[in-house]
Structure 1
Amino acid sequence: MSAPTVGELPTAPQLLCAFQGRRFQDRELLRSAHALAELHLRRAQIRDLLLISEIDCRRSELIEDINDWITQEFPQHRNGAALHTESLGAVVDRMAGSWVDANQAIDADGARSANTHKQWYHLAELVDGYTDLVIDVAGGRRRLPQH
């Protein structure tokens, strides 16, 4: 049995599981989400500007992969749907980065620190925004920018 989706779009909990490395292998978008989280983690651990640039280049490729997937798998109609400000790939990339930041805050500062609370609150806001976005896209009320 596959996990629930909104249309063909993964839910925010599915993305969080993919970031963590669980249950992502069977869905292209979730594989890309997992790879983005791994790249954000590597990026946070290195200081070499050339390696950071290479990581950012690979992130851009994964963002485009997600954008290509959404264009192919989820055709959008323009009839009255509001345009979202960023692509789905960019949204997933920001969530992956926030997920890494939140987990690193726990490791560095402990679960009860103000920084940890701030990082997890930011991730929760992104999760809520993603959830609203995929519901609106699936319902035809919002469309994603062409990349």
Structure 2
Amino acid sequence: MSAPTVGMLPTAPQILCAFQGRRFQDRELLRSAHALAELHARRAEVRDAYLVAEIDCRRSELVDDINDWVAQEMPQHRNGASLHTESLGAVVDRMARSWVNANQAIDVDGPRSDNTHKHWYHLAELVDGYTDLVTDVAGGRRRLPEQ
């Protein structure tokens, strides 16, 4: 079941498709999600501290881009809505990192390993959390921090 959306906020399956490189070009937030997944994949391969810092700087910019988009496009319910502890950009960044780790675990350890299962289970937890967050924001029970 897809989560309700707020404005143009994508569902968790749409975010996962963007990480894969599918159906993301037409939406700014999905383009940023795709770029975050690519950066996490690159970060896992590089060992040079300078390159890691450059990647992390670009990730931070993309997280800010997502947060700026949210601030412009999504109405926030203030009356009685609890404040979520992290921005939507930070949530998408963590999902991207987990998605990359889960896919790398399959490549390294195979699809049936305990390590692979652990990584995919963690990603599933993040997807559930994202879905709950979207549902709560749509229902006015939760609001996102401004930055």
Q: What TM-score does the superposition give when structure 1 sets the normalisation length?
A: 0.96
CA RMSD of aligned residues (A): 1.3
Displacement after TM superposition at 1:68 (Å): 0.2
Displacement after TM superposition at 1:5 (Å): 6.0
1:24-39 superposed matches below 5 A? 24-39=24-39
Structure 1 distance, partners of 2:86, 2:36, is 17
AA at the equivalent of 1:115: N
Aligned to 1:94: 94
Q: Moved runs in structure 1, 4+ residues, more than 6 A?
A: none
Structure 2 distance, partners of 1:38, 1:5, is 27
Aligned to 2:105: 105
Which structure has more relative contact order (CA 8 Å, sep 6+)? It is 2
Deviations 1:62-98 (A, max 9, x none): 0000000000000213100011000000000000000
2:50 is aligned with 1:53:
no
Aligned to 1:15: 15
Contact conserved, 2:36 with 2:93, CA < 8 A, in 1?
yes
Aligned to 1:127: 127
Q: What TM-score does the superposition give when structure 2 sets the normalisation length?
A: 0.96
Aligned to 1:6: 5
Contact conserved, 2:3 with 2:12, CA < 8 A, in 1?
no
AA at the equivalent of 1:6: T
State the aligned residue count.
145
Q: Which moved more, 1:111-120 or 1:5-14?
A: 5-14
